[in-house]
Amino acid sequence: MKDSRERVVIKTSIISLVFNIILAGFKAFVGLLANSIAIISDAVNNLSDALSSIITIVGTKLAGKAPDKKHPYGYGRIEYMTSLIVSAIVLYAGITALVESIKKIINPEVADYSTITLIILIAGIIVKFILGLYVKKKGKDVNSDSLVASGSDAFNDAILSISVLLSAIVYMIFDISLEAYVGALLALFIIKAGFELIKESVDNMLGVRVESSLAKSIKKEITKEKDIQGAYDLVLNDYGPDKYSGSVHIEVADTLSVADIDRISRRITKTILKKYGVILHTIGVYSVNTKDKKTIEIKKEIIKIVFSHKGILQMHGFYLDEEDKSISFDIIIDFKIKNREEVYKEIYEEIQNKYKDYKIDIALDIDVSD
């Protein structure tokens, strides 16, 4: 799977590289002949796309290196670093194009468009649309953020090239020169795209929330096991595209033996790895009271108390130990609640006052996955 993904990313990037170099060359040649800053800016944009493809190829090859003693989780995160470099290049290209466009606005120069100019611009737009469709599809097929971003960027390039084409047509028909302003507009779009790509790359390096559909699917798969009453606290660490490892807690009846739980844990680990390619290196256990009606009633009362407070997303892992005289459970409070610690304290005090004979142990979990 890894080799197949790597081949697809590299092959697609090479195709994108070749077409962008050809487009950049033609547009630069035509832009210089027509003395058009808008066309030259478009050429610079294509050249930055070509450079991005080169960096994507290099990053993908480095990220595909096998794990070693120093980096036991592999080199997958290199892709995020190369994406950041690509983002910086896009941003630089946009700033450079904006500066040149502003110079043209201050000191206007007459452009000299021709029929061949229009033909090359139209051909470039068609190629960019087709390239965008192809690259984006391949990116989605192998879950490559870099390729999906490149495909989207190609669509944006095509739209911006249309604005350059329209400015050329307006000049040829009405003798009104808009190309310096169109060049500036083009540059602003490139700058915006650069900042968005930088944000996305930094987010990936910092660590972002697991995709909701993936988290929900994994939990649903885990709860298919007949002895599991719930799956919680799914934490997945991202070590590059499609490289997840993490942990989860499961709720099981207090009547199960250690051997039962061991068999269940092994089945879960194998199933999730096979179906989602995710390594669950730790499966924690919450024991659920099943033998005492009094305990079940206390749990219902505590659930009412907890969910009477604003911002409670979840309560799980409830267990009452009559011998130790303790009640323990976990709660998750929405990140939107600014005073989460205060809400936690209120819940704790309310429950402790109601059940004075018990030692209350409430864990404030973090909302890490859906």
One digit per residue, the tens of pLDDT, for the chain of length 370 reads: 455 778 888 899 999 999 999 998 988 888 888 887 778 877 887 887 888 788 878 888 888 888 888 988 888 888 888 778 878 877 887 888 788 788 878 887 777 778 888 888 898 899 989 998 998 888 888 877 778 777 877 887 787 788 778 888 888 888 888 878 887 887 888 788 888 888 988 888 888 888 899 999 999 999 999 899 999 999 999 888 778 899 999 999 999 999 999 999 999 999 999 998 899 999 999 999 887 888 989 999 999 999 999 999 999 999 999 999 999 999 999 999 989 999 999 999 999 999 999 999 999 998 988 8
Domain check: are 192 and 282 in the same one? no
**What does each C-alpha distance from 110 to 48, 78, 177 come to in angstroms?**
26, 46, 7
Domain check: are 261 and 303 in the same one? yes
For 319-339, give the DSSP string.
Answer: EEETTTTEEEEEEEE-TT-TT
Domain check: are 170 and 250 in the same one? no
Domain check: are 84 and 61 in the same one? yes
Q: What is the dihedral of CA 341, 343, 345, 350, to 10 degrees?
A: -170
Domain check: are 202 and 248 in the same one? no
Query: Which of 185, 206, 227 is a domain's end point?
Result: 206
Whether residue 370 lies inside any domain: the answer is no
Closest CA to 332 of 355, 307, 304, 356: 307
What's the structural domain count of the chain?
2
For 231-258, give the DSSP string.
Answer: EEEEEEEESSTT-EEEEEEEEEETT--H
Domain check: are 198 and 305 in the same one? no
Domain check: are 240 and 149 in the same one? no
**Domain harbouring 294, CATH code:** 3.30.70.1350
Domain check: are 242 and 358 in the same one? yes
For residue 77, what are the contacts with CB-CB under 8 A and spacing of at least 6? 63, 205, 238, 239, 240
**What does each C-alpha distance from 96 to 64, 92, 99, 184, 245 come to in angstroms?**
34, 6, 5, 10, 42
Ramachandran angles phi, psi of 184, nearest 5° = -65, -40
Query: Which of 206, 226, 244 is a domain's end point?
Result: 206
Amino acid 3: pLDDT: 54
Ramachandran angles phi, psi of 248, nearest 5° = -155, 155
**What does each C-alpha distance from 120 to 116, 317, 349 come to in angstroms?**
6, 65, 73
Return d(Cα 20, Cα 13) in angstroms, integer.
10
Ramachandran angles phi, psi of 3, nearest 5° = -65, -40
Domain check: are 201 and 250 in the same one? no
Report the amino acid identity of residue 71.
Answer: H
pTM attached to this predicted model = 0.71
Query: Which of 190, 206, 222 is a domain's end point?
Result: 206
Whether residue 110 lies inside any domain: the answer is yes
**Domain harbouring 36, CATH code:** 1.20.1510.10
Domain check: are 179 and 324 in the same one? no
Whether residue 70 lies inside any domain: the answer is yes
Domain check: are 150 and 293 in the same one? no
Domain check: are 117 and 191 in the same one? yes
Helix H or strand E encompassing 365? strand 359-365
Range of the domain at 70: 2-206
